[in-house]
Every structure is written in C-alpha cells, then in structure tokens.
C-alpha cells in the first residue's frame, strides 16, 4: 500500500468532477448480512486497550446495501464521544473505520477525515469545516468477506465536542468487487451522510432520499462508520479498560449431547464488554473447524415488568444439519471484540440427523375414543427396533401449588426490604420478576425433595435469598431486568452448582398443548417469558378444565408483580399464544422449564410394537374407563445407540356419542329391557349402563335417583321425550 496527494486536494477534484459522473444508485438492494467471513484491513497497529474508546452511533452491523457503492464518493458520520466514553473531552481522534462487504477482491483507494459540526439548524447537525484528513491509502481487498477498514489520521486530531468522521473513496470500484456499505436497522436523521454528486450535495441517509420530487432510495438504518481514540478526561483520569470477551453456551449446555434437527445454537457474552464486534459459530468432526455463521447483534429480549420489549434472540443461530452424517461433533462459539481479543467455548455433541422420535400421526390430540384406539406412528430413524406405548389419566384441574413471591420484597438497596424497593427510590424490586419467578421454580423442586437446590454449605437459604443470588447470575440489577439468555444460563449454573440434579430446557413460542404437556404430564416447573407492555416473567401454577372457548383456556400463574397466584386466560390467536394479565394480552415468547430426570411419573403400560416392517402401530382396547376422563398417551423408543425419543398426544374417553339415548345395555334397541337395566342400577346396585354411570341421568338434572326411572317409564309409554343420555 502507498500514500499520495492530500485529502483536501482529492476532495476538491471530487466536487469538480462529480457532475460529470452523476452515478445512479436507485437500483441498490438492501439485504441482511448472512454467513460471511470477517476480517480487518488495517494500515497501522491498533491502540492499546487501556487507552482506547470507540465512538459510534450505530447499533451494530446488521444489513448491507448492495449496488450503492460506486467509488469517488464521501461518507460522513456524526459522532459524540460523550455518548460512549467516560470523561470524554478533550478527545483525541486516532483512527476511523468503515466496515464494508465485498463479493470479490480488488483495489480500493481511501482516505479519512475529521470535520466540525455545523449547528446552523440546531435540530439537524450537518458536516461543517474540514479540520484535517489522512493521507490516501491504496488498499488491496484480499477476497470476499466483511472487512473492518481501519484508517489512521496522519496526526491525531483533538476535539472538544461532537464531530463528523469522513471516509472518502477516490477510485471508481470494479463492479465485480460487489462493494457494499453496512447499516443497523434504526433510521436516525442527521447522523449519516453521503455525497457522490455535487449537484445533489450531501444526502442525509437517515431520511427519504428525493430526486426531482420522487423517492430516490430509503436506507434501512444508520451507516456504520465510527472512530477510535483517547479521552482526555477533563481532569477525570483514564477510563477503565474494556474487559476481555467471555462467552458461554446457553444451548447446548454441558451434558446436552444429543441434538435433533433443527437445533438452535445459543451463546451469551458475559464480560459486560461494550466493544464486542461479533460472535462466530463453527463445527468440526475431528479436523478443521467449518463456519456455521456470524452474529453481530447479541441483544436478547429483556423482561423487567416495567417496560415493553420486542423479541430478540441474542447470539443465536439456527442449525439444520439433517443432511449431515450422524455422529460426534464439536461445536465452538467465539466472541471477538474490536481490539481483536477473543474468547471461545466448545461443546461435544452427537448429531442425530434422523432422530428416534416416534411421532404419533393418528389419532390427533383433542379427539375422543371409546372402544379402542389404533396408534399410528412415524419414525425417521432406521435404527429403531421397537415403539412402546403408555398412558396416563390426568384430572381436569391441576395445580403445582407454587409459593407466591412478591418482587416488592426483593431488590432492596436501602436496608428496608419492606418498603416496596421501587425503582423511583433507586432500588431494584420493580425489575425483579425474573429472579422471583425463577426462585419460585427452584423452591418447588426443593419441596419435591431436591434439597441441595436451596442450600449453601450447611445452611438452608430462604426463597428471598435464592432470588437475590439468582439476580446476580441473571445480572438483573446492571441490566435493569432479566434477559432471556442470562436467565437460562444463570439457571443452568445454579442447578449445576446446587446438586446437579435438575435440567433446564426451553421452547420458543410454545402452544397450549405443549405447555400443558410439560407442566401436567411431565410435571416440569415452567416459567413463561411474556412480551407486550410490560414484558415480564411468570411461573405456571396450573390449569382449570380444558378448553373454555374456541382456542381459549383457563390457566393460573404466579405473577411476581402482584405476589399472587392468579387465575387467568390463555388463548391461541392467529398462531400466537397469548396470556392475559391485568386486562392486557401478552405474547408467550418463550417457556423455560426445570425438570429432574429421575423424577418418577407413573404411566400405565399399554403395549409395544416390535416390528416396524409394516409401519409402527398398536391397537389398544381399553378396560372400562370413566366417561369424560382425559389421558396423555406417550409413544417412546430408543435407537441402536440408546438415544431416546418420545411424542405425546392428549385424548378424552367419551362413549356418549357411541350409544343411542336410552340404550343402556348396548343391544341396539331401546325397550323395556333397558328400563329393567336402569332399575337394577339405581334401585338394586346392579351394573352401570354401558358407557358409564352418568348415562343413568335420564332427565339431565345432574342427579341419579328414582326420578330417572319415572322419566324413562314415561318415555316408554309416550308421555315424555327421549332420555338425554
């Protein structure tokens, strides 16, 4: 690389020639940045971490604009060191970086500059006078990828307030390079500018771009163009250095060795660094690691019971490995910061591309059965040698009998835990729905016999102490709420360090049937991460009945905001599961469960199919059951390597629709024999009507007595209508 001319001279050339080139950028395309390699083009050593502060206005690299960059143009970004640096002024600007994406290698000639801020219009700052610029650098882009192009100023520039950083491309770029600038997804006016045509002048990229009264182009967010430098401090001393990256897995966690496609790889950066550049996921089958993808935005949804929140998944990546060979792999996640420092975490996993999950494809959940059920099962794993069937009758109502914990008793910061601990008084109780909901889940397993969960050494902790300890793991105070990734990772850490007998699992956007299966059939303790306003965490206590309307269900939850177990309504609305609290519908974004693998649940053995040559199936002829009872039916198996799989459906036993009203002996006729059958049952302790004793309530007054016999006699002799059962 070499340097030549001055930026001021070339900028003048640009303005004089721009009317001649007048490039058209209308055909540019906006795309989300996908799986790309990440590198640096740097022309001088990076600054020492102890001295450096990064000044930027964007929210991370998310989008790329293809077809926009043509060369011979200037980009500008408004930067205020006070927004990101302690004791910022005087601030010494040392380097400027504009990340760019390329489809191929090639030449790019660039310079950077610093300009003052023109505040003639106080509501919209624009680039002002040129303060200084760097030499020109002729750079060679090595190949396709995303590159941080760091260009130093020849002499660092000292500023005492906000400034504009400039990035000038002097050459016409080869179209084959596919050069693209990067943006976030938040359009903010008066912070990002571009000039490529002297007649158009500086264009505000944060607003609609017009030409001849027509919309020229709409940028998706703010340009990613920022600076690094050294804060002067105004007498405050040097800022604290940014911590080195630290990364850990949310999923898979230690011991989660079996992955079924599609899986989600999910990590959390825990150092608190504000300069994490990106996280990369990789896998290896024993040789070199292969890229799976890069994630630039690590923000996960935060729920604090005060503010609304959108859905953000943090450093997560979906992985569909269904076409890969089954076997043992290593997955690795690496976090890198803008100083080039990194941290990695690895997990060994077994990929089951054809999982041994015996999916029950018939009958369907919510159907009724009477005389027999034929279970039909599909399983993609070729190494399954049997499918076992079990059933479990469950009551209409279920309660886990959860402890009710009021978050107002938590988050104390003034020594008085009973004053409500509100945020308005500088305390944290208002933000504690996550620790409170999780502590209630821990306490439930403690009462089920897992005493290590609430012990520290020889001491037994109270539930409030558990909540405060969880708040530390969740980083609740520092983050003014609990993020999804910190909650799951913190729960896994807590359960591992306190007996290692509880597994933590999660499911995004669950439906009602999956929720009820987890809570009632599998007896997990489940937390729900709710969206809406406000976003918060609750713990599921139980259910009342089954459907209470069309796609509507009665549910009870422990609500930390009120400190009470509350009955409420859950609905499935246009594919979204929603829970009502305080008259507001909240989307159920995620459910997190705690489950003891050795927790004993009794299910009746129904039978087994040992030959899948003609498909997996089993026909069950039930013994007489109680009319109206509900059952969870489970199909389970293991493959040749003993990896398990299962599926569950929910059905109701109901024979009412199988029998003619008044036909109590099921002989297909309604006559005096049925009258005798009814008399025997009601008056002489004889056998109950076929289909269940409730059929003897002939007049449907909810009582079974002599009045039903009289009603039936009147029916037979023509003076009453047909029995209702």
Place 46 in a pLDDT band, splitting at 50, 70 and 90.
low
| Number of independent structural domains in the chain | 5
CA pair distance 466, 173, nearest whole angstrom: 60
For residue 233, the model assigns a pLDDT of 58
Query: Buried (b) or exposed (e) across 612-638, using 16+ Cβ within 10 A?
Result: beeebebeeeeeeeebeebbbbbbbbb
Identify whether residues 377 and 470 lie together within a single domain: no
Q: In this structure, is residue 241 part of a structural domain?
A: no
Of residues 535 and 693, more confidence is placed in 535
Reported as half-sphere exposure (CB side, CA atoms, 13 A), residue 548 has a value of 15
In a domain, 603, yes or no: no
Same domain (yes/no): 550, 648: no
pLDDT at residue 114, rounded to an integer: 96
Same domain, 366 and 345: no
Contacts of 221 (CB under 8 A, 6+ apart): 58, 59, 62, 63, 183, 184, 185, 186, 187
| Rounded (to 5) percent helix, strand, coil in the chain | 15, 40, 45
Say what the pLDDT of residue 22 is.
55
Question: Residue 261 is part of which domain span?
Answer: 247-351
Q: pLDDT tens digits for 133-192?
A: 999 999 999 999 999 999 999 889 999 899 999 999 999 999 999 999 999 988 899 999
- Over 60: is that where the pLDDT of 697 sits? yes
Q: Are residues 182 and 114 in the same domain?
A: yes
Most confident range, picked from 32-41, 246-255, 394-403: 394-403
Do the Cβ atoms of 482 and 534 come closer than 8 Å? no
Strands 276-284 and 584-595: unpaired
Instruction: Work out the pLDDT band at 11, boundaries 50, 70, 90.
Output: very low
pLDDT at 5: 34
Q: In what order do the strands lie in the sheet with 359-362?
A: 359-362, 373-378, 616-620
Q: Render pLDDT for 65-97 as a digit per residue (tens, 0 to 9).
A: 999 999 999 999 999 999 888 889 899 999 999
Q: Are residues 546 and 677 in the same domain?
A: no
Task: Find which of 278-287, 668-677, 712-721 is predicted with most confidence, using mean pLDDT.
Answer: 278-287
Do residues 628 and 666 both lie within one domain? no
Do both 201 and 309 map to the same domain?
no
Q: Is the pLDDT of residue 37 over 60?
A: yes
Per-residue pLDDT at 376: 95
Pair (73, 220) in one structural domain: yes
Q: Give the CATH number for residue 494.
A: 3.90.70.10
Domain assignment of residue 240, yes or no:
no
Measured distance CA(293)–CA(283) in Å, rounded: 10
Hey, is 676 helix, strand or coil? helix
Domain-located, residue 604:
no
What is the pLDDT, as a whole number, of residue 51?
A: 67
pLDDT of residue 691 exceeding 80: no
Instruction: List the one residue out of 646, 643, 547 whose CA is nearest residue 603.
Output: 646
Among 6-10, 434-438, 714-718, the minimum mean pLDDT is found in 6-10
| Per-residue confidence (pLDDT) for residue 650, from 0 to 100 | 96
Question: Given the DSSP bridges, would you call strands 258-259 and 342-351 parallel, antiparallel or unpaired?
Answer: parallel
* CATH number, position 299: 2.60.40.10
* Residue scoring higher pLDDT (14 or 107): 107
Residues 53 and 73 in one domain: yes
Q: Is the pLDDT of residue 378 over 70?
A: yes
Write the pLDDT tens digit of every residue in 170-183: 999 999 999 999 99
pLDDT for 212 beyond 80: no
C-alpha gyration radius of the chain: 33
Q: Do 365 and 285 share a structural domain? A: no
Please report the pLDDT score of residue 689 as a whole number: 86
**In a domain? residue 79:** yes
- The answer to whether residue 1 sits within a structural domain is no
Q: What pLDDT was estimated at residue 547?
A: 86
2 assigned to some structural domain: no
Predicted local distance difference test score (pLDDT) of residue 431: 97
Same domain, 204 and 105: yes
Q: 483 preceded by cis ω (within 30°)?
A: no
**721 within some domain:** no
The per-residue pLDDT for 313 is 93
Q: Tell me: pLDDT of 236 over 60.
A: no
pLDDT value at residue 50: 54
* Residue 336 backbone phi and psi in degrees, to 5: -125, 140
The pLDDT tens digits of the residues spanning 611-663 come to 988 889 999 999 888 888 999 999 999 988 888 899 999 999 988 767 788 88
Task: Report the Cα–Cα distance between both ends of the chain, in Å, rounded.
Answer: 92
> Residue 411: left if φ>0, alpha if ψ -120 to 50, beta else—which one?
left
Name the band, by pLDDT with cuts 50, 70 and 90, for residue 122. confident
462, 375: one domain? no
Mean pLDDT of the chain: 89
pLDDT at 363: 95
């Amino acid at each position: 690389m070499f340097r030549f001319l001055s930026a001021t001279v070339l900028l003048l050339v640009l303005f004089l020639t721009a009317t001649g080139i007048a490039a058209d950028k209308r055909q540019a395309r906006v795309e989300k940045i996908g799986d790309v390699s990440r590198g640096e083009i740097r022309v001088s050593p990076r600054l020492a971490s102890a001295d450096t502060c990064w000044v930027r206005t964007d929210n991370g690299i998310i989008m790329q604009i293809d077809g926009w960059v043509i060369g011979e143009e200037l980009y500008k970004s408004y930067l205020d060191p006070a927004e990101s640096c302690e004791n910022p002024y005087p601030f010494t600007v040392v380097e400027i970086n504009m990340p760019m994406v390329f489809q191929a290698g090639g030449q790019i000639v660039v310079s950077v500059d610093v300009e003052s801020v023109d505040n003639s219009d106080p509501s919209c700052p624009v680039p002002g006078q040129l303060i200084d610029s760097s030499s020109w650098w002729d750079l060679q882009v090595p190949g396709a990828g995303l590159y941080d192009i760091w260009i130093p100023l020849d002499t660092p520039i000292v500023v005492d307030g906000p400034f504009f950083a400039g990035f000038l491309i002097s050459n016409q770029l080869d179209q084959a390079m596919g050069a693209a600038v990067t943006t976030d997804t938040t359009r903010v006016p008066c912070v990002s500018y571009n000039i490529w045509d002297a007649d158009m002048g500086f264009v505000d990229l944060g607003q609609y771009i017009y030409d001849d009264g027509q919309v020229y182009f709409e940028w998706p967010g703010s340009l990613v163009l920022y600076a690094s430098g050294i804060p002067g401090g105004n007498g405050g001393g040097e800022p604290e250095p940014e911590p080195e990256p630290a990364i850990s897995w949310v999923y898979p966690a230690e011991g989660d060795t079996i992955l079924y496609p599609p899986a989600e790889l999910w990590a959390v950066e825990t150092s608190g660094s504000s300069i994490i550049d990106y996280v990369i996921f990789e896998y290896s089958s024993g040789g070199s690691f292969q890229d799976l993808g890069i994630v630039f935005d690590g923000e996960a949804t935060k729920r604090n019971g005060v503010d609304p929140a959108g859905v953000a998944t943090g450093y997560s990546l979906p992985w569909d490995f269904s076409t890969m060979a089954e076997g043992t792999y290593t997955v690795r996640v690496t976090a890198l910061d803008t100083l080039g420092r990194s941290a990695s975490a690895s997990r060994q996993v077994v990929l089951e591309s054809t999982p041994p999950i015996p999916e029950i494809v018939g009958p369907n959940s919510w159907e009724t059965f009477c005389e027999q059920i034929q279970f039909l099962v599909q399983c993609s794993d070729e190494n399954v040698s049997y499918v076992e069937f079990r059933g479990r009758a469950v009551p209409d109502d279920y309660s886990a009998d959860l402890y009710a914990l009021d978050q107002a008793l938590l988050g104390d910061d003034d020594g008085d835990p009973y004053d409500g601990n509100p945020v308005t008084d500088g305390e944290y109780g208002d933000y504690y729905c996550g620790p409170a909901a999780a502590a209630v889940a821990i306490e439930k397993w403690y009462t089920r016999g897992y005493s290590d969960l609430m012990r520290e050494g020889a001491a037994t902790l109270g539930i409030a102490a558990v909540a405060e300890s969880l708040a530390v793991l969740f980083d609740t105070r520092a983050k003014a709420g609990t993020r999804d990734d910190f909650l799951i990772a913190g729960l896994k850490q807590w359960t591992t360090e306190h007996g290692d007998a509880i597994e933590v699992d999660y499911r995004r956007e669950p439906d009602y049937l999956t929720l009820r299966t987890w809570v009632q059939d599998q007896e997990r303790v489940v937390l729900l991460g709710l969206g809406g306003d406000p976003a918060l965490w609750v713990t599921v206590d139980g259910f009342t009945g089954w459907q209470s309307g069309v796609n509507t269900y009665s549910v009870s939850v422990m609500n930390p905001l009120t400190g009470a177990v509350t009955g409420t309504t859950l609905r499935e609305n246009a594919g979204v599961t929603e829970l009502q609290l305080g008259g507001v519908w909240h989307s159920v974004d995620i459910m997190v469960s705690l489950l003891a693998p050795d927790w004993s649940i009794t299910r009746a053995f129904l039978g087994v199919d040992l030959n899948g040559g003609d498909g997996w199936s089993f026909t069950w002829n039930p013994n007489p059951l109680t009319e109206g009872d509900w059952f969870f039916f489970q199909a389970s198996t293991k493959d040749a390597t003993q990896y398990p799989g299962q599926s569950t459906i929910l059905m109701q036993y109901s024979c009412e629709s199988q029998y003619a009203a008044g036909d109590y002996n099921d002989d297909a006729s309604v006559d005096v024999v049925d009258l005798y059958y009814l008399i025997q049952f009601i008056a002489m302790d004889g056998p109950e009507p076929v289909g269940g004793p409730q059929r003897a309530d002939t007049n449907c007054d909810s009582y079974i007595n002599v009045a039903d016999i009289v009603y039936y006699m009147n029916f037979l002799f023509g003076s009453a209508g047909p029995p209702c059962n």
